[in-house]
Amino acid sequence: MLMRLQSKTPEDNRISKELADVYYTMGQYGKAKEAYENYLKVGTPTEQDYTRYAMLLYLNKDYAQSLDMVKKGLELAPENHVLKRLAMYDYLELKDYKTGLEAAATFFANPGNPDYVYLDYVYFARLLEADKQYEEAVVQFNKALSMDKSHTEIYKDISDVYEKKRDFPKAIEAYKNYLDEMKSSPDISDLFLYGRLNYYAATDSAYQDKQPTYLAEADTIFAQVAVKVPDNYLGNFWRARVNSLRDPETTQGLAKPYYEAALSILEQKPDATKSVLVECNSYLGYYYFVKEDYNQSKQYWNKILEIDPENETATKALGGIK
């Protein structure tokens, strides 16, 4: 009925407002956004109008316009809880982290407010993380978890913060919590990222006393990746890197079978990353050089020059082989 009325009296902005309110209540946000747009062109918006329209714009990822509506709404109602929340959210999405932290300070000025939700603390934590306030970011992520323990993906956020700090033991612990809390088996990307964290920990000089443990865990995880996606090179490639660390002088050739396996997959892909191909061939070229199998060694160095004719390492290696 409202639609029929609007078609007969398009100049009556009250109908646009009522339509907007109805659509918003029904959860038809696209139609609500359009109706609010029409109303705001000619009507006099209320606090509720600004709040709802700002939320719709935020949900539509139009963060700059959402923030504009937030500011106008806060002029009418400086203590509007939802508008203050949206200010913090919008500033984060717009990557204005300093102003976002100021908005967060305003929003959280009343710690006893029962209307805070877990996502508020997640956004606050992300603002802090972007500002490199890592310890405080972890505090806020943990607050979010304490409010709603079902959002176990927050453990992954915590792991990311610790990784940025290069605190790999805590990053690994948080990521393991994330994997352990999963209701289903982790997907390949989750396994891969966990394996890579262990690899990075093993390469960090601060944790050399635990390097064997980290390498063993990384090797186990990358082996699983290789089995689960046998047509993808990443599992074998990262196993090669792990085993290269275990055999830094290449005397045992621990990484050899994995570089070979990765290379056999990569050579079937025309769009294979050049640097990865170079790494595989470089290891194998050097391995055969150490074994004094110079003909085999030359084959791999020449493969590199086919990929990268200006490669200095391959050129020098070939020049040094008699």
Question: What are the tens digits of pLDDT across the range 138-151?
Answer: 999 999 999 999 99
Greater confidence, 118 or 20?
A: 118
Greater confidence, 110 or 222?
A: 222
Lowest mean per-residue pLDDT among 4-13, 23-32, 42-51, 173-182: 4-13
pLDDT at 56: 87
pLDDT at 250: 97
| Residues 240/248, Cβ–Cβ less than 8 Å | no
Average pLDDT taken over every residue of the chain: 91
Question: Residue written as tokens 């999405």?
Answer: 93
Separation CA 13–CA 249 (nearest Å) = 78
Q: What percent of the chain has pLDDT over 90?
A: 80
pLDDT at 6: 42
* pLDDT > 60? residue 12: no
User: Which residue in 22, 26, 81, 25 sits closest to 51, CA to CA?
Assistant: 81
What are the residues whose beta carbons fall under 8 Å from the beta carbon of 87, sequence distance 6 or more?
67, 70, 71, 74, 103, 106, 107
pLDDT at 30: 64
Average pLDDT estimate for 282-296: 97
Please list, residue by residue across 271-297, b when 16 or more beta carbons sit within 10 angstroms of its beta carbon and e when fewer do.
Answer: ebeeeebbbbbbbbbbbbbeeeeeeeb
User: Which residue in 140, 138, 93, 97 sits closest to 116, CA to CA?
Assistant: 140
Question: What are the tens digits of pLDDT across the range 190-201?
Answer: 999 999 999 999
